[in-house]
Amino acid sequence: MTIDSAPVPTTLSTAVRLLRGEAVALGLVAVWLVYENLTSDAVDLASAVLITVFAAGGALTLWAVGAALARRRAGARAPAIVLQLMLLPIGWYMIQGGLGWLGVPLMALGAGVCALLVAPATTRALGLLD
């Protein structure tokens, strides 16, 4: 087992913090959805529960990917990028629906974290570049 004593680059640590922040935000949405599921009149309970489980699973996935990147696991970069690219169509449809104040920052967040994850310093820290 080798221990990499090189300092974690700012690009990687910032990406990890943003991924964990997204995980916390999505976790809070999942908690709110649980509350809504318990207190609202059920129109389609199965769909409501499925959306809640999807939000909770997304939060757990974001946290796990962030934790793997914090441990410099190179295989976690691709799932992290895919998760961030998913913010682009979500943001676009928010803009189309009149929620540009939320859609534009989501798109910027997704693109920004992707840029941090493909930065040369991050790539070197993950051992993907010689």
pLDDT digits (tens, 9 = 90+) for 19-68: 999 999 999 999 999 999 999 987 898 999 999 999 999 999 999 999 99
Copy the structure tokens of residue 99. 């929620």
Q: Which sign does the torsion angle of CA 95, 98, 104, 107 carry?
A: negative
| Integer Cα distance of 34 and 52 in angstroms | 7
| Integer Cα distance of 36 and 44 in angstroms | 12
The pTM score is 0.91
| Integer Cα distance of 120 and 65 in angstroms | 19
| Integer Cα distance of 62 and 103 in angstroms | 19
Percent residues over pLDDT 90 in the chain: 87
